[in-house]
Amino acid sequence: MLELEHGYRVVDVHTRLVPEEATGVGGWAVSPDRLEREMHQAGIVRAVVSPEPAPRRGYVAANNGVARLSVDRPLVAFARIDGPRSPGSVRTGRLGDVLSGGREDHHTSPADVEQYAYDDRFHGFVLDPAADGIPDEETIARLEAVDLPVLVGGGVDAPPSLLAETLLGRSFPVVVAGFGGFPLDRELMDEMIDLLEEYDGCYLDTSFVRYRRQLERALLEHPDRVLFGSGAPAAHPNVAVMEILTLDVSEDKLVRTFWKNAARVIDALDPKVRP
């Protein structure tokens, strides 16, 4: 695909990476070199990367692999975490910890959070409640203590109401992927945009948001709370960038979305911080 011609600095808060030996084995995994090449084609200068979901397997090895592959590349590693509470059990009465028997060996512990937070290879966390559950309160308390950004997957299996009940309103910034409406649920996206009025530390990323009305509404009503995310490699970064470029909003709002907002939330994406 031809390189996009645009004059914007672009950083991407939502990409995934797997060890090279796992690429091409199902899914949409690509090599780090190919991801970097596609980023360059789209004009993306830096990107947050995290492992693919692997429920009930734990993420220590996968996180370390992503951190290793990010060295000497324009990639910012986030550690993927998980927890014992299922979204369904939380919605039916906060019984997740009891029904699951509490934290198991593969679940992220408070000590794991501490270790990731003070390892200079990692700059935040990724949590997909639908795939990996929700951490227990002790682990969430440690997330608050280390105060790094958390990118959270939202959608039909983890709707905005669940995120508000469990994660929003904490001391750490929360970036909700896909406007909280994956896959392509406009009502959930609008509900998530509404919640920005209530939660100052909540942000939205644009990954897999294909509806112009929701994108423009969020940018017009909350221009400081929207961060560009491509969803690569499941979506090509060129496509994601073009969808933002074609919105009917001011240049200032595009600049905020493409990098300024992300630089405020994720220190490693600030151009003043050396890669």
pLDDT digits (tens, 9 = 90+) for 7-56: 899 999 999 987 654 444 444 567 899 999 999 999 999 999 999 998 88
Query: Which pLDDT score, from 0 to 100, does residue 95 have?
Result: 44
* Cβ count within 10 A of residue 23: 18
Which residue ranges form the domains of the chain, and what is each CATH number?
10-269 (3.20.20.140)
Query: Which pLDDT score, from 0 to 100, does residue 4 have?
Result: 76
Helix runs in the chain, H state only: 32-42, 60-70, 87-91, 96-100, 110-117, 129-132, 137-146, 160-166, 186-195, 212-221, 237-245, 251-255, 261-265
pLDDT digits (tens, 9 = 90+) for 157-214: 999 999 999 999 999 999 999 999 999 999 999 999 999 999 999 999 999 999 999 9
Instruction: Report the alpha-carbon angle 78-159-167, nearest 5.
Output: 50
d(CA 44, CA 39): 5
Q: Calculate what percentage of the chain has a pLDDT beyond 90.
A: 80
| Position 72, amino acid | D
| Position 14, amino acid | H
Could you give the dihedral angle defined by the CA atoms of residues 67, 72, 74 and 76, in that order, rounded to the nearest 10 degrees? 20
Query: What is the reported pTM?
Result: 0.92
Determine the average pLDDT of the residues in 80-90: 86
pLDDT at 3 over 80: no
Determine the average pLDDT of the residues in 111-132: 96
Q: How far is CA 101 from CA 91, 131, 246, in A?
A: 17, 18, 49
> What is the enclosing helix (H) or strand (E) of 11?
strand 10-16
pLDDT band at 96 (very low <50, low <70, confident <90, very high): very low
**2 against 212, higher pLDDT:** 212
Query: Which pLDDT score, from 0 to 100, does residue 6 have?
Result: 87
Query: Which pLDDT score, from 0 to 100, does residue 24 have?
Result: 45
Query: Which pLDDT score, from 0 to 100, does residue 227 have?
Result: 98
pLDDT digits (tens, 9 = 90+) for 228-269: 999 999 999 999 999 999 999 999 999 999 999 999 999 999
Query: Which pLDDT score, from 0 to 100, does residue 25 have?
Result: 42
